[in-house]
């Protein structure tokens, strides 16, 4: 989380002062625009649509509905707070920095608003981290090869969403990196606050009751001897 904060501050400072990565942003995006093919643009549009804020926010809302259906009110509240924070940070930082997007002639899709940070990058990674946070809380994280494979797949999708915004010519590299950094920071703060509020004895697996059952399971009883007494 500290690395995410430091990275974002460095990117923000570079945008404001036109130094660091921000100084070469136009060169990188311009090169991609000049060398992109029609097929690459089509693929970038599809990937960008998959990671669009409307899609990722809908996914988070589905988790909210699931949490409410399971009566996991704590998870419901935390997911809602996390999603609201991600959206608020995106809107606030865009207005605060007010960085223009790349030249209109580079755009392969029509997009309104400011450029920094990338909402696609922020919300795609942010919602993924929210889902992982919820899954961990309820012991639903896959382990072993399946968990590793799923993690690699999701990471590739998140990276592809960010890269698609560069190929489409609507963002600079620092916009995408800033979105990812903010996502890590916002969700990290949420996890930290939950841990502090729950205390040192919190296991972080459920909302205080088993996820798969609403009743407690009795411990197995020791078998009785033939004479009616207890063994041993």
- The secondary structure of the chain in percent helix, strand, coil, rounded to multiples of 5, reads 70, 0, 30
Query: What is the tens place of the pLDDT at every residue in 162-221?
Result: 999 999 999 999 999 999 999 999 998 888 877 777 765 554 444 544 444 444 444 455
> What are the counts of helices (DSSP H) followed by strands (DSSP E) for the chain?
8, 0
**Section 86-112 average pLDDT:** 93
pLDDT at residue 63, rounded to an integer: 82
User: pLDDT at position 200, please?
Assistant: 59
**Average pLDDT score, the chain:** 83
User: Average pLDDT in the 74-98 region?
Assistant: 89
Q: Tell me the per-residue pLDDT of 44-64, one tens digit each, with 9 for 90 and over.
A: 999 999 999 999 999 888 888
Residue 140, pLDDT above cutoff 90 = no
| Contact in structure between 222 and 230 (CB atoms under 8 Å) | yes
Q: Which of 94, 114, 85, 110 is nearest to 185 (CA)?
A: 85
Q: What is the pLDDT of residue 195?
A: 75
pLDDT band at 36; cut points 50, 70, 90: very high
Q: Longest C-alpha distance within the chain, in Å?
A: 92
* Residue 229 scores a pLDDT above 80: no
């Amino acid at each position: 989380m500290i690395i995410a904060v430091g990275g974002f501050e460095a990117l923000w400072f570079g945008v404001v002062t036109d130094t660091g990565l921000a100084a070469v942003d136009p060169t990188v995006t311009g090169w991609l625009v000049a060398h992109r093919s029609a097929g690459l643009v089509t693929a970038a549009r599809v990937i960008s649509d998959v990671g669009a804020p409307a899609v990722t926010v809908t996914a988070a809302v589905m988790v909210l509905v699931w949490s409410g259906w399971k009566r996991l009110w704590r998870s419901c509240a935390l997911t809602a707070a996390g999603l609201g924070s991600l959206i608020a940070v995106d809107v606030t930082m865009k207005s605060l920095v007010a960085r223009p997007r790349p030249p209109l002639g580079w755009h392969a899709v029509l997009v309104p608003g400011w450029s920094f940070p990338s909402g696609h990058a922020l919300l795609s990674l942010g919602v993924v981290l929210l889902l992982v946070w919820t899954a961990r809380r309820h012991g639903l994280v896959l382990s072993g090869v399946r968990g590793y494979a799923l993690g690699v797949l999701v990471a590739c999708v998140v990276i592809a969403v960010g890269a698609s915004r560069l190929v489409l010519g609507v963002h600079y590299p620092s916009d995408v990196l800033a979105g990812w950094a903010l996502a890590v920071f916002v969700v990290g703060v949420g996890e930290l606050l939950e841990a502090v509020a729950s205390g040192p004895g919190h296991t972080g697996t459920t909302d205080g009751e088993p996820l798969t059952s609403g009743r407690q399971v009795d411990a197995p009883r020791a078998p009785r001897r033939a004479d009616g007494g207890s063994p041993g």
